[in-house]
Amino acid sequence: MLGHYDPYLVALSVVVASFGGYVALDLASHARDAGRGRNGWLGAAALALGAGIWSMHFIGMMAMRMPMPVSYDILLTALSFFLAVGVSGTGLFAVAHGGGGRATLAAAGLLTGFGIVSMHYVGMAGMRLPVPLIYDTLLVVASVVIAVAASTAALWLAFRTASPLQRLSGALVLGAAVVSMHYIGMAAANADVTAIGHAANTDAVPTGDDLGFVLSTPSLAVGTGVGTLLILSLGLLSVLIDRRRSAERAAGQEARYRAVVDSAVDPIVVIDETGTIQSFNRAAETTFGYGAAEAVGANVRILMAEPHHSAHDGYMAHFRETGERRIIGIGREVEGRRKDGSLFPLELSVAEWHDGRQRLFTGIMRDITARKAAEDALHRAKAEAERAREEALTARDNAERADMAKTKFLAAASHDLRQPVQSLFFFAHALSDRLDGHPASPLLASMSESLNGLRTLLDSLLDVSRLDAGVVTPAVTEFALGPLLQRLADEYRGRAAEVGIALRHVPTDGWTRSDPALVERILRNLVENAIRYTESGRILIGCRRTGKDLRIEVLDTGIGIPENKRDEVFVEFTQLANPERDRRKGLGLGLAIVRRLAGLLGHEVTLRSQPGRGSAFGLTVPSVAPRQVMKTCRPAAQSAAQPAANGGKGLVVVVEDDAIILLSMRTMLEEWGYEVVAAVSADEAVGTLTSLGQRPDMIVADYRLREGRTGLQAIRDIYGVCGVRVPALVLTGDTDPARIAEVQQSGHRLLHKPVAPEVLRNALNSAA
């Protein structure tokens, strides 16, 4: 193009372009960081960039001094301005909202570059010259390339600059590129020489009416530049003010954040994507031993123990590359390391957040040393409790085995003791009949008394075994207590008088619901215990009402029981006042049997006692309404029949493998008038009965026989020969609960050795 450039206006265009680029970059950077009004700041950045480019373009055009008048088309000039602002805004918004990827940046840069080129050439088309312009194709292409490159650089810099110095460097690069593009575009336009000559010959000088408007080029250029700089300065000032306000808000938020974080009892550490510590609260200082000044700026690895210490950078690199969250949002237990190198357990949770410029991570930690110690103590306590439980179970099993062994021992010992005692009973009874009036009769009476004492002790052992076996089934009924207490008082009054004790009872009309036989056994044991441990004074048997129940009491003036021994007296073989184990004072099983029978019946046993003043044992039973009892006539008691010598009472089969007991029983039964078939086994009894051809009237069989056979089997064998079922008695000295239950289930009557002759005779008479 003919003419020359005004150097001052060219310089002004460069200043406007650079300043416009700086303001645009600053506004775009602020838009990136702003939480609110982001689109407004992006619009301001687009206006600043477009205005700077257009002003530089307009000033650059007016900097050209040509030898002909120049005017401008208002509409095309305005269009060029809107093109500059519009394409700048389009590019900035596209990059800001498109993620800033390479493809988005390239497309936005291409669009903006072509927009700037369009703005430039539309602006040149708005010039009104007397001659047409011819464009150099290569220079036009060069201007397009520079425009696209400048646009791409501008958009890239808009969201990458962080400091004013970076923005200044970017603005200079952007301004130089835009200025270069403009002046290359200007150089591409050349005037048609032929048209210039024709215009000179014809004096065809354009006027304002023909070309639009004509202004003083320097004045217009300076005015445009100053106006643009003023507008850009206002934009820069507004962003500075907004930054200051944002800084004040951020400072307030930081103060509040710091107050919350520093007052937290748990360590809180903030790191960036590289693992550099950005924030370190007071709790973290206390926990880790580092001061905030030491920790901030250091890598978070200083707080980690192996293996996390060595692998941390790899974790962060993997996260940046893949975005895979391995620990974010997931609480877990790790091991921390203090400044002194000591390790301790931590509970860690990590949260991810953005501050508008970078991704940050907040780690909230808790020192769980105390909790771990408590958990370890709890685990140890559980382990100890489990060991104690196992030991208790082992002890219980051992106790159960010991109790089982004791029961078996008592059963075996009772059986072995009862066998000879039984034979002594039968022989003593046979001798008592033959030695009637003989001088040796008192000796025999003393021997019988000793045998009765031994039988009582063995019966007590048997009672304990039966209760342990659970074969005692209460026969519950409603009955009057008065006759029972009267009978006990009458029975024991003479025995108490022999030792100088007055025994009396208080009559009662109360009724109860229970097993009368078992209640009587409980009261007998209590009365015998009172007589045994009362040296002088009195014993009282009575009954009193307590609410809906009745309490039967046995009170004595005996030796009494200390308070710390009141539970102990109910334990087997316990006798507080019998260290010498005098058999006349019992075996120590009476109160144990009382408690077991009361438990079986569901009754409560109470004890009140004062040492030296006596004891009061009570049995609480339910009270029921009395019933009317029909009075009946009872025949007078008849004396037992004397044994007959002719055996007219019937045939009795005796099966006993003990020869001495078999002989003594045969002798006694024959003295009573029975015909006896005595056998040591079932086969022998069957053979004898077969040879006699006679059916027995009674079978008496010992439970334990030879070759592992039992009396129950012997009775069945005899039934097979007879063809009918005859009455049978089973004698046993065995206290094994299983044996007792087996005999009772068979339906035969069971008598425990040693059997008193009177008991056996009564059983035979009742069975017959």
| CATH code, domain carrying 681 | 3.40.50.2300
Q: Do 296 and 177 reside in the same domain of the chain? A: no
Q: Do 236 and 307 reside in the same domain of the chain? A: no
Q: CATH number of the domain at 595, please.
A: 3.30.565.10
Whether 400 maps to a domain, the answer reads: no
Peptide bond into 611 cis (omega under 30): no
Kindly list the averaged pLDDT for each block of 10 residues, start to end, along the chain of length 768: 71 80 74 70 78 78 70 78 76 66 74 76 74 77 80 70 70 73 75 53 44 54 74 78 76 76 84 87 90 89 73 58 58 85 87 76 87 88 90 85 68 63 69 70 68 62 59 77 88 86 91 87 87 88 91 90 75 55 53 84 89 89 76 35 50 89 86 90 87 88 87 86 82 74 81 81 78
Q: Decide: helix, strand or coil at residue 612.
A: coil
Q: Do 182 and 236 reside in the same domain of the chain? A: yes
Q: Do 611 and 714 reside in the same domain of the chain? A: no
| pLDDT of amino acid 538 | 92
Q: CATH number of the domain at 277, please.
A: 3.30.450.20
Q: Do 524 and 559 reside in the same domain of the chain? A: yes
On the CB side of 509, CA atoms within 13 Å amount to 5
Query: What percent of the chain is helix, strand and coil (3-state, nearest 5)?
Result: 60, 15, 25
- List the alpha helices (DSSP H) in 675-734: 682-692, 711-722
Q: Decide: helix, strand or coil at residue 570.
A: helix
Assigned token pair, 391: 């030991």
Whether 168 maps to a domain, the answer reads: yes
Whether 589 maps to a domain, the answer reads: yes
Q: Decide: helix, strand or coil at residue 348.
A: strand
Q: Do 220 and 74 reside in the same domain of the chain? A: yes
Neighbour count for residue 81 (Cβ, 10 Å): 19
Q: For the CA atoms of the chain, what is the radius of gyration?
A: 62
Residue 648 amino acid letter:
G
* Spatial separation of the C-alpha atoms in residues 642 and 651, rounded to whole Å: 17
Q: Which 8-state DSSP code applies to residue 276? A: B
Q: Do 153 and 225 reside in the same domain of the chain? A: yes
Whether 205 maps to a domain, the answer reads: no
* Spatial separation of the C-alpha atoms in residues 704 and 726, rounded to whole Å: 20
Tokens 């689109």 belong to residue: 39
On the CB side of 548, CA atoms within 13 Å amount to 2
Whether 175 maps to a domain, the answer reads: yes
Whether 602 maps to a domain, the answer reads: yes
Whether 96 maps to a domain, the answer reads: yes
Neighbour count for residue 316 (Cβ, 10 Å): 18
Peptide bond into 696 cis (omega under 30): no
Q: Do 591 and 670 reside in the same domain of the chain? A: no
* Spatial separation of the C-alpha atoms in residues 587 and 456, rounded to whole Å: 9
360 within 8 A of 271, measured Cβ to Cβ: yes
* Spatial separation of the C-alpha atoms in residues 49 and 61, rounded to whole Å: 18
Q: Do 231 and 305 reside in the same domain of the chain? A: no
Angle at 8 between CA 6 and CA 10, to 5 degrees: 70
| pLDDT of amino acid 262 | 76
| pLDDT of amino acid 213 | 44
3-class DSSP string for 654-681: EECCCHHHHHHHHHHHHHCCCEEEEECC
Whether 588 maps to a domain, the answer reads: yes
Neighbour count for residue 109 (Cβ, 10 Å): 23
Q: Do 520 and 666 reside in the same domain of the chain? A: no
Please provide the DSSP assignment of 59-103 as one string. Answer: HHHHTEE-SS--EE-HHHHHHHHHHHHHHHHHHHHHHHHTTS-HH
* Spatial separation of the C-alpha atoms in residues 306 and 480, rounded to whole Å: 87
Phi and psi at residue 641, in whole multiples of 5°? -65, 140
Q: Do 165 and 239 reside in the same domain of the chain? A: yes
* Spatial separation of the C-alpha atoms in residues 434 and 47, rounded to whole Å: 148
* Spatial separation of the C-alpha atoms in residues 179 and 175, rounded to whole Å: 6
* Spatial separation of the C-alpha atoms in residues 686 and 474, rounded to whole Å: 38
* Spatial separation of the C-alpha atoms in residues 403 and 617, rounded to whole Å: 28
What contacts 24+ positions apart, CB below 8 Å, involve 554-558? 554/523, 554/526, 554/527, 554/530, 554/616, 554/617, 554/618, 555/530, 555/614, 555/615, 555/616, 555/617, 556/530, 556/614, 556/615, 556/616, 557/613, 557/614, 558/530, 558/533, 558/534, 558/614, 558/615
In this structure, are strands 651-655 and 4-5 parallel, antiparallel, or unpaired? unpaired
Task: Return the beta strands (E) in 469-561 as ranges.
Answer: 477-480, 501-505, 511-514, 537-546, 549-556
Assigned token pair, 402: 């010991």
Assigned token pair, 558: 């005996």
Residues 6+ away with beta carbon under 8 Å from 193: none
| pLDDT of amino acid 214 | 45
User: Where does residue 241 rank: exposed (0-12), middle (13-18), buried (19+ CB within 10 A)?
Assistant: exposed
714 within 8 A of 705, measured Cβ to Cβ: yes
Residues 6+ away with beta carbon under 8 Å from 240: none
Neighbour count for residue 235 (Cβ, 10 Å): 21
Tokens 């002909």 belong to residue: 68
Longest CA pairwise span in the chain (Å):
195
Domain end among 371, 404, 433: 371
Enclosing domain of residue 480? 472-622
Please name the helix (run of DSSP H) or strand (run of DSSP E) that holds residue 128, with its range, or none: strand 127-128
Q: Do 33 and 120 reside in the same domain of the chain? A: yes
| pLDDT of amino acid 212 | 44
Count up the domains in the chain and report the number: 4
Q: Which 8-state DSSP code applies to residue 159? A: T
